[in-house]
Amino acid sequence: MRIAPPTPSRAAKLFELLARAYPDAHTALHHENPLQLLVATILSAQCTDERVNLVTPALFARFPDAAALAGADRAELEGLIRSTGFYRNKAKAIQSCCADLVAHHGGQVPQTLEALTALKGVGRKTANVVLGNAFGIPGLVVDTHVQRLALRLGLTRETDPVKIEFALMPIVPRETWSRFSHWLILHGRSVCAARKPRCSACTLAPHCPRIGVTASS
């Protein structure tokens, strides 16, 4: 697939329109501190944010810090998060991550990408969610919506999430990295759906090459 790099003017117009359409974009995951956001993000894999938000109040009331989560009874932890799906793998990831936090960071969530991705069960996407939303440190989150829209909008020809992240870095102004991810996530949910994008109702349409969108969409 050959996709010409976006011109600075077209990219800037896309960012302007997205910012106007979603001025209050922020994470939908409820949290009161960085640890809660880290755990909620792990739970959100292949699960809706709404479902995660239903689960986390009881989870954090029962296990309020990294030490408590690391030492939790595995069966009890799995029971609390069962409805988020893949609960055995998620319970293992949460406990491994929290054990690392206790052992290497005094139970606190670190504030660098390198330290976060060194934690067991934490990849770049989760790390960037935490950096951008818990610490205000710019991070490009590439979830399925960002992955799809970055290609459709002609911002990159890459399909691998990590390669997409690096491809977007020089295109998207660093100070808007976190907001940009939220813009695309919200736009992907409300307008640019995977199977039936509502192109006729899309504010980005005049500047979008519609990569991979059929004529009937």
Question: In the Cβ-directed half-sphere of 110, how many Cα atoms lie within 13 Å?
Answer: 18
pLDDT digits (tens, 9 = 90+) for 133-187: 999 999 999 999 999 999 999 999 999 999 999 999 999 999 999 999 999 999 9
Which option is the CATH number for 34-135: 3.40.190.10, 1.10.340.30, 3.20.130.10, 1.10.3720.10? 1.10.340.30
**CB 125 within 8 Å of CB 141:** yes
Secondary structure, 3-state, 13-49: HHHHHHHHHCCCCCCCCCCCCHHHHHHHHHHCCCCCH
CA-to-CA separations, 122 to 38, 40, 109, 113, 125, in angstroms, rounded: 9, 12, 12, 10, 8
Measured CA to CA in angstroms, residue 110 lies from 10, 34, 107, 125 at distances of 36, 9, 9, 15
The answer on pLDDT for 203 being more than 60 is: yes
Q: Are 181 and 146 in contact (CB under 8 A)?
A: yes
Is CATH 1.10.1670.10 correct for 8-25+141-207?
yes
Predicted confidence at residue 216, as pLDDT, reads: 52
User: In sequence order, which residues have a C-beta less than 8 Å from that of residue 86 and are 6 or more positions away?
Assistant: 45, 46
Residue ranges of the binding site: 192, 199, 202, 208
Question: Which residues lie below 8 Å from residue 110, measured CB to CB, with a gap of 6+?
Answer: 116, 119
Q: Is 22 left (phi over 0), alpha (psi -120 to 50) or beta?
A: beta
- The string of pLDDT tens digits covering residues 115-131 is 999 999 999 999 999 99
Q: Which residues are catalytic?
A: 125, 143
pLDDT at 215: 57
- Domain residue extents for the chain: 8-25+141-207, 34-135
**Residues annotated in the binding site for [4Fe-4S] cluster, as ranges?**
192, 199, 202, 208
In angstroms, the CA 11 to CA 118 distance is 33
Q: Which of 90, 45, 99, 108 is nearest to 69 (CA)?
A: 99
Mean pLDDT for all residues in the chain: 94
Task: Encode pLDDT of 82-106 as tens digits.
Answer: 999 999 999 999 999 999 999 999 9
1 pLDDT more than 50? no
Mean pLDDT of 17-37: 96
